[in-house]
Structure 1
Amino acid sequence: MAAARETGKAVVKTGKHGVSRPPFMVGSIVRILMENFLTYSVCEVHPGPNLNVVLGANGTGKSSIVCAICLGLAGKPSFLGRADKIGLFVKHGCMKGVVEIELFKSPDNITITREIHVVNNASVWFINRKPATLKTVEEQIADLNIQVDNLCQFLPQDKVGEFTKLSKTELLEATEKSIGSPEMYQFHCELKNFREKERELENLCREKTTSLEKMKQRVERYKQDVERYHECKRHVDLIEMLERKRPWVEYENFREQHEEVKQYRNQVKKELKCLKEMQAPWTRKIQEVEEDLRNLDMKTRDNTAEIRNISQKYKEKQDALEMKDKQIEEINQAFRMKKDEETNRQKKIQQTQIIIEEWQNELDTMAACENLQPQIDAVNTELKKLQEERANIDNDISDLRAEKNSQEREEKRIIDRLGQLNNIMHMKEENLKMRFRDTHSALMWLRNNKDKFKKQTCEPMMLEINVKDSAHAKYIENHISDNDMRAFVFECQEDMETFLVEMRDHQKLRVNAVCAPAESYAETLPSRPIEELHRYGFYSYLRELFDAPPPVMNYLCYQYRIYDVPVGTQKTRDMIEKVIQETNLRQMYTAEERYIIKVSSYTKQNLSSNTCLREARYLTSSVDTDERGQLENQRQDIRNTVKSLDAHLTALFDRQKLLEHKDNKLRQEKKALLERGNRRRQLESKIGVKFDSLRQLEQDAIDLEKEFQLTNVKIKEINKQKSELVTELMHLMKKIIPLNVVKVALSLQMTRATAKKNRLQSEYKLKAAQLKAAQQRFYELDNKKQRLYEKCMELMKQARHVCRLGPGQDFPEEFQVAFQTLPNTLEEIDALLNEEKTRASCFTGLSSSVVEEYNKQTQEIQQLTEYLEGKKNELNNYKQNISQVKEKWLNLLKEMIAQINGKFSKFFSSMQCAGEVDLHMENEGMDPMNERRVFEMVVETACKKRTSQYFLITPKLLQNLTYNDKMTVLFVYNGPFMLETFKWNTKRFRKRQRRLSRMTE
């Protein structure tokens, strides 16, 4: 180490020929300092200028040195394949870590320092103890040709597999950057850029050439379209002239029609005047007939009114006559009712006399009233006793019913609470179904087939475990593996095998199952009472935080020793060092962390590791089994109590019915006794009442002879009034007969006058219809004349508009000359117009823009031709540049390949190998002979003059290897208690080795 530190300075030594040569190559690592980095608190490494062999057992920290080299030289954490955040490389429990690397450079070395801060996961850079940016550091490292991201220069253990997957191109570029000259890789990059630009120019020229050909073809098509456009223009001009003449021809046709209609209208006007003069006499005759009809109507109305008056009087007299008949009938009805009333009175007198005689006979035969009071008193006493007993039974029934209602309300409360607990269990099952569908399917099968197993079977632990406080669920879940959380628990190995065969082989379900040990571990006592740990913040062992069936608890105590794992608080975390030193616990929990303590095999000291607790996922909803069991027992007790109360109530109801029957029987007996004493008094009272009724009936007798005489007197008086009414009726009938005769005569006159009026009106209507028809013809002709006039004016205006003539402008002579060559009828014009339009429509898709587009395309072809010539010249220049750069690059590449081929041939000859070369994957190793040859080859190559610095990381070496004075061997010890090298005694080592060999023999 001392030698390494001395040669690490920027000292210049003299070689054989007197030329100064530094011991280190520029960019070599002179010193590595690590503070609070991964496993190191403070560590300083001084590597040599050539081969550095880093030795140490697995886990001692060799990879930490590799990580320090990568991160100290601006490497990214992801390149190491260990962690993606830089803060994770700081030693646990520290807030800042430092990596300092000193690089050789003349005249003064460069010291690069990287401070890693955990809080914000950031780095602070320094160059020669002065603050710097990451970009500045990367530039300094690039100037020294250090490439930590190049697998050919820096190959971490975790990147060996990635190195084997590099393509040929990637390997070539990595080799160029690592062993080739900077110009070589620069030429390679320029060559790729030139080739990419050449390819772009070739594609561009190809596209533009294709576009030019298409544009030329398009211009050819445009040339034909221009010719067709001119031909189409001739047809369009003829169509325009035909459309100008057509309105004038149409105007002339409508003007001739207007003159014809005007003449016919004047003729109809004269006919209309004659019809109006002929219609006046018929109007006077109709008026005279209507006057006669009005007079006859007035006479008829007067006659009808007089007849109606007499008829009304006749009806009144007739109604009065009918009323007198009704009065006679009422008088006779009243006499018949008095006669019936007297008959009924005689019958009632006879019936009353018979009843009185019967009651008198019963009274005469009835004995004197006997003394019934003692019997009545005895019955009353018995009734009182029965009533008291019934009252007691009613009170007992009320009390029992109240008690039953209270028990039923309590049972309902218990059922509601059990429903809540079952709902929590349902939530846990849904969680199981969502996360582990196969396990849920197996659970459904197990519940339906428990009879197939010999001993108790338990459902998955996440359903069976009930945490007493949901805040403690995270400790249970972090302590028990996920596989065991969803595992079924069996007491019998045979039952477990039966279950797994069914699930895995038959149903193809992926499930877990465990078998609880035969010996009971559930009641195992912890190594010390929890009270002794209270002063460290511990409040319980894991076993006391939850409930589970005996097989589950037995398995967890056996497998996870939950009876001896305490749970603490933040107080425990604050004094964790003291807890580890004083308690000798192997596992423990604080508020948010889990600690595992192991004893070092070398130093016998405690080594602790801690992990943050993940949040609970399975046991957040728990069922209190004690509460559930108590509720089930209470429910069963309540059912038994209700059943007992129902039996007691049934007995009381039966007794109540019996007492009610006895009560009714006694009451009937008492009633019979009371009736026997009251019968004589009732008979005497009834006989007295009947005698009073008989006397009243005898006093109410009716004199029928007198009533008959009064009835006859009333009827005679009414008959006299009827005769007077009949006389008046005959007088009214004589007056109404002449009036009816007059009415018939007036009706005949009205009929004749109406017929005459109808005849005159028919003739008048016929004349009026003729007049109306004439008027209609006149109006139609007049309207037609007006329409034709308006149409002529409209056509005139349209024709002048089509010809573009002003209001006072005369018809142009050129139009007259052109119109003479065109047809003179609308039919001929329309036929020629349709023919020309049809011909013009054949020239579809043509417009005036065709000529413009033709000219435009011709100009674009000329521009594109010039642009294409420029790009082709540019492409030729790029091809010349490619040839020049390619020649330079190939010369350098051939030299490098020749060196590589020579060295590989030498290396393979030294290994006595030939054939295919394959790269071994990490940790596969090789046979000792080839391993020795490879090591000798590395030593020989890396220890030559003017070679780069080399680091070889290995946990072991073969015996009797070849070493070189230029090698530097760096030993990484297990800890500070390892024996220093200057204290080694070789004789004692050999003596101990011989003693151990004899013991083994």
Structure 2
Amino acid sequence: MAERVGTMRATDSYEYDTGWDIVRSYRVTTDSGIELLEATEKSVGPPEMYSFHCDLKNCRSKERDLENLCKEKANFLEKARQRNERNKGDVERYHMRRRHLDRIQMLEKKRPWVIKGIKQHLSLKQTEEADRQKWMGNMQRMIQDLQQELDNMSSQEDVTPKIEAVNSELRSIQAEKSRLEGERQDLRRDEDEANGELRRLQNRLSSLEDMMNRKEEMLRSRFRDTHTALLWLRRNRHLFQGNVYEPMMLVINVRDPRHAKYVESHVNINDLKAFVFQKQQDMEKFMVEVIRESQLRTIYTADERYTVKRSIYSNKTISSNSALRPSQFLSMTIDADERRQLEDQLRAAQQQIQSVGTRMNTNQEQQQMQQVRIDLQKVENEANARISAVNEQKVTIVKDLLHFMKNRARLSMEKVYLALDTAGLSAEKTKLESDCREGFAAVLSYMNSPLIIRAAVNAVSPRCST
């Protein structure tokens, strides 16, 4: 293969050299280089060489056309860019116009609300001003009335001597009041002491009564029949003519409880339980009634014991008397003298408390009378205080009047400023509306110009071709 290629190259070289020799021999001096090249290609070259050369020339011409078109497009692009840069200001003005139009529309919508708010604010200020004027009129009338009252008071007589006399009387009343207060405290202290003594005596009397109750309780627990007879005697004492004494253990009192055992050793227990009668018929009546009503089996009299029994076999009542044995014990005593003394002291303490209460009531009535006298001075002091308050109120009203006059002047200035601001806002609104109308007309005229339309068409056509 390589040898064949080498042979073909040698042959072609030989043919080429031979051809050029022939061309040199027949060369025409009048032909151009391109035509000579084409003639040579046609004569000695392969058949496709000329076609390739023609295609090359066509491509070269197309290249030149494309280069020219590219330069034209680049120039147009540069001009379009410059035109776009020039149109940016117009577009910005257009957008600014749209913003101004939107703002004008919004302000037109807000205008009724703003006007309504201004009217409400103005009406409120007018109402406040009317109320202030009314209040100032009332204050002026009050000042005039107070001034007249003050003039009338200044024309009255001098009350200083009366005030001094009332003050001296007040001092004497205060001294009397202090004395009565001291007496009241003394009486209260005496009342407290009397109440303490009364409580002590009542406690002592209660303890004595408790001692009697304990004695009766002991009698009931130890000798129930005797206790039942005692209760019957207390209920029916009116049935007897003479004195009937209760059992000795309830009546006898030993001054010193430590000596009770000695007394008890000398007194028989039956004697301690026995009832003592002043008359014989009373004793017989007592025996009959107590046995019949209380069904007692054993009772005691002064010197003997009376016993009633019922037979088991014959169901008959059998009674017997027996002598009393000596007493065995006596534990609790109550001093009757001490009890009477306590009762007397208790009555004296109650009387003392009543007298102290009476004196305290008298003292309280005197204090009330003194209080009535003191009320006159209180009224005088209240009158002086009211006069001072009226004077202070007058000064305060004058200060308030001056203050409100200053506020009125300030509010009047604010009202003028608000009116000026309203006029300025109206003028600014009118100016903005005129500027927006002018800008809108300029943008419309600029947008409708043929130059802008042509530039837009030229800017759109390359995009459509591509």
Task: Give the count of matched residue pairs.
Answer: 300
Q: Which residue of 2 aligns with 1:347?
A: 134
Q: CA deviation at 1:465?
A: 1.6
Change (3 A) 1:462 1:614: closer
Change (3 A) 1:367 1:639: closer
Q: Which residue of 1 aligns with 2:81?
A: none
Task: Say whether residues 1:395 and 2:182 are aligned partners.
Answer: yes
CA contact (8 A) 1:332 1:711 kept: no
Deviations 1:641-674 (A, max 9, x none): 11111111111111111111122134324655x4
Of 183, 199, 202, the residue aligned with 1:412 is: 199
Q: CA deviation at 1:348?
A: 3.0
Change (3 A) 1:682 1:336: closer
Q: Which residue of 2 aligns with 1:699?
A: 409
1:178-257 mapped onto 2 (5 Å cutoff): none
* Structure 2 counterpart SS, 1:403: helix
1:71-86 mapped onto 2 (5 Å cutoff): none
User: In structure 2, what residue type is equivalent to 1:700?
Assistant: R
Task: Say whether residues 1:639 and 2:350 are aligned partners.
Answer: yes
User: In structure 2, what residue type is equivalent to 1:664?
Assistant: D
CA distance in 1, matches of 2:150, 2:249: 99
Change (3 A) 1:459 1:500: same
1:226-305 mapped onto 2 (5 Å cutoff): none
CA distance in 2, matches of 1:489, 1:326: 123
CA distance in 2, matches of 1:507, 1:680: 93
Q: CA deviation at 1:403?
A: 1.1
User: In structure 2, what residue type is equivalent to 1:511?
Assistant: I
Task: Say whether residues 1:374 and 2:374 are aligned partners.
Answer: no
Q: Which residue of 2 aligns with 1:424?
A: 211
* Structure 1 counterpart SS, 2:331: coil
Q: Which residue of 2 aligns with 1:513?
A: 301
CA contact (8 A) 1:363 1:683 kept: no
CA contact (8 A) 2:247 2:272 kept: yes
Deviations 1:42-64 (A, max 9, x none): xxxxxxxxxxxxxxxxxxxxxxx
Q: Which residue of 2 aligns with 1:436?
A: 223
Q: Report the aligned-residue RMSD.
A: 4.2
Q: Which residue of 1 aligns with 2:462?
A: none
* Structure 2 counterpart SS, 1:370: coil
CA contact (8 A) 1:331 1:711 kept: no
Q: CA deviation at 1:628?
A: 2.9
- After alignment, is 365-374 or 655-664 more displaced? 365-374
* Structure 2 counterpart SS, 1:511: strand
CA distance in 1, matches of 2:118, 2:347: 92
Task: Say whether residues 1:460 and 2:224 are aligned partners.
Answer: no
Deviations 1:916-945 (A, max 9, x none): xxxxxxxxxxxxxxxxxxxxxxxxxxxxxx
User: In structure 1, what residue type is equivalent to 2:284?
Assistant: E
* Structure 2 counterpart SS, 1:466: coil
Percent of counterpart pairs with the same letter? Answer: 33
User: In structure 1, what residue type is equivalent to 2:255?
Assistant: K
Q: CA deviation at 1:392?
A: 0.9
Deviations 1:323-379 (A, max 9, x none): x89995877755554343333333333333333444444455665352211111111
CA distance in 2, matches of 1:366, 1:656: 35
* Structure 1 counterpart SS, 2:190: helix
Q: CA deviation at 1:426?
A: 1.9
User: In structure 2, what residue type is equivalent to 1:665?
Assistant: L
Task: Say whether residues 1:652 and 2:363 are aligned partners.
Answer: yes
Change (3 A) 1:438 1:450: same
CA distance in 2, matches of 1:630, 1:491: 27
CA contact (8 A) 1:359 1:687 kept: no
Of 476, 480, 501, the residue aligned with 2:263 is: 476
User: In structure 2, what residue type is equivalent to 1:692?
Assistant: L
Change (3 A) 1:706 1:507: same
* Structure 1 counterpart SS, 2:167: helix
User: In structure 1, what residue type is equivalent to 2:176?
Assistant: E
User: In structure 2, what residue type is equivalent to 1:513?
Assistant: T
* Structure 2 counterpart SS, 1:467: coil
Q: Which residue of 2 aligns with 1:550?
A: none
Deviations 1:578-599 (A, max 9, x none): xxxxxxxxxxxxxxxxxxxxxx
CA contact (8 A) 2:264 2:331 kept: no
Change (3 A) 1:376 1:513: same
CA contact (8 A) 1:433 1:440 kept: yes
Q: CA deviation at 1:457?
A: 2.8
Change (3 A) 1:696 1:362: farther
CA distance in 2, matches of 1:508, 1:326: 119
CA distance in 2, matches of 1:365, 1:475: 100
CA distance in 2, matches of 1:326, 1:485: 121
CA distance in 2, matches of 1:473, 1:513: 23
Q: CA deviation at 1:631?
A: 2.4
User: In structure 2, what residue type is equivalent to 1:447?
Assistant: R
Change (3 A) 1:414 1:325: farther
CA distance in 1, matches of 2:279, 2:131: 109
* Structure 1 counterpart SS, 2:302: strand
1:163-182 mapped onto 2 (5 Å cutoff): none
**Which of the two has greater helix per residue?**
2
Q: CA deviation at 1:686?
A: 6.5
* Structure 2 counterpart SS, 1:420: helix
Task: Say whether residues 1:630 and 2:341 are aligned partners.
Answer: yes
Change (3 A) 1:422 1:327: farther
CA contact (8 A) 1:379 1:670 kept: no
Change (3 A) 1:437 1:502: same
CA distance in 2, matches of 1:374, 1:453: 85
Q: Which residue of 2 aligns with 1:446?
A: 233
In structure 2, list runs of 5 or more residues that go unmatched: 1-105, 304-322, 433-466
* Structure 1 counterpart SS, 2:301: strand
The higher radius of gyration belongs to 2
Of 467, 483, 497, the residue aligned with 2:284 is: 497
CA distance in 2, matches of 1:506, 1:495: 16
CA contact (8 A) 2:232 2:290 kept: no
CA distance in 1, matches of 2:274, 2:201: 32
Q: Which residue of 1 aligns with 2:68?
A: none
Deviations 1:153-202 (A, max 9, x none): xxxxxxxxxxxxxxxxxxxxxxxxxxxxxxxxxxxxxxxxxxxxxxxxxx
CA distance in 1, matches of 2:134, 2:398: 20
CA contact (8 A) 1:335 1:707 kept: no
RCO higher in structure (CA 8 A, sep ≥6): 1
Q: CA deviation at 1:402?
A: 1.0
CA distance in 2, matches of 1:367, 1:390: 35
User: In structure 1, what residue type is equivalent to 2:286?
Assistant: F
CA contact (8 A) 2:228 2:294 kept: no
CA contact (8 A) 2:240 2:282 kept: yes
Change (3 A) 1:512 1:331: farther
Q: Which residue of 2 aligns with 1:486?
A: 273
